[in-house]
Amino acid sequence: MQISNIKNQIQEFKISKNILGIWFVILVLSGCATVELAPRQTTLSGPQKTIQPSRGLYHRVRKGQTLWRIARIYGVSIEEILKANTIADSTLIASGQSILIPDTPRALSLDTSTLPGVNGERSRTMDSLNTGVSEDFIWPAKGKIVSGFGDKIGNSSSKGITLRLYAQSDIVASASGRVVFAEEKFSGYGKTIIISHPEGLMSVYASLSRILVKPGDYITRGMAIAQCGGLMHFQIRKGWISQNPYYYLSR
């Protein structure tokens, strides 16, 4: 009986923790709470050196692959890949490009029958590797990018991507997940939907003209969740921290 009670308490704690995280995101979006959304960069005086990992392997990018997918394949963070390759613009990653994967247990445990590498390092494509990586994120709509992640908007920086769409364009779920928030009048964002995905990721769809889903609905990737004409704002967050959508979306 005691074991059953403990299990119930643990489950209730997990649910409460998840709800707390979701509401914190909502508070941040509405301006009722503030957090440091990205690590601060410290500028050091004098000459600087880029420290590269002493070991690792090179991954040859396939068409449509994103930094998020590559990071998941090898069990490393996007930040580690960025630092190892000094990648400043993720939109410039191209099919056939070789990217250094830092020395990690996951990377080293993979089959090392490789293609000719770069600078003597090992290189591979992922044609025959069963990675078990979940589905990719897709663009929520087709339109012209008006502002990108980090672009200056007034006195602040954009935390997502703003698209200009045709009238009554369908907005689709960027990835499968559960609707945790759908509000007709959300402060500063208008009609807004938030979908929760595995691994603490959330996608935010704002400035919509019509909402087609409600909280609690389970949505599959590519399913229409809203309509919009004009400008539509899209974000991807991990917990309450805004992510660069370009790391997750294939271009």
- pLDDT of 43 > 70? The answer is no
**Which is nearest to 136 in space by CA: 174, 98, 170?**
174
- Consecutive H or E run containing 132: none
pLDDT of the residue at 22: 59
pLDDT at 73 over 90: no
Write down the pTM of the prediction. 0.64
Burial 144-163 (b: 16+ CB within 10 A, else e): eeebebeeeeeeeebbbbbb
Q: What is the pLDDT of residues 121-179, one digit of tens each?
A: 444 444 434 444 467 899 999 999 998 888 887 787 888 999 999 888 999 999 999 99
Domains, in order of start, for the chain: 56-124 (3.10.350.10), 144-247 (2.70.70.10)
Question: How sure is the predictor about 105, in pLDDT bands with cuts at 50, 70 and 90?
Answer: low
Look at 57 and 43; give whichever has higher pLDDT.
57
Look up tokens 């990690």; give the residue: 104
At a CB cut-off of 8 Å and minimum separation 6, what does 189 contact? 29, 30, 206, 207, 233
Instruction: Give 224-239 pLDDT, tens digit per residue.
Output: 999 998 999 999 999 8
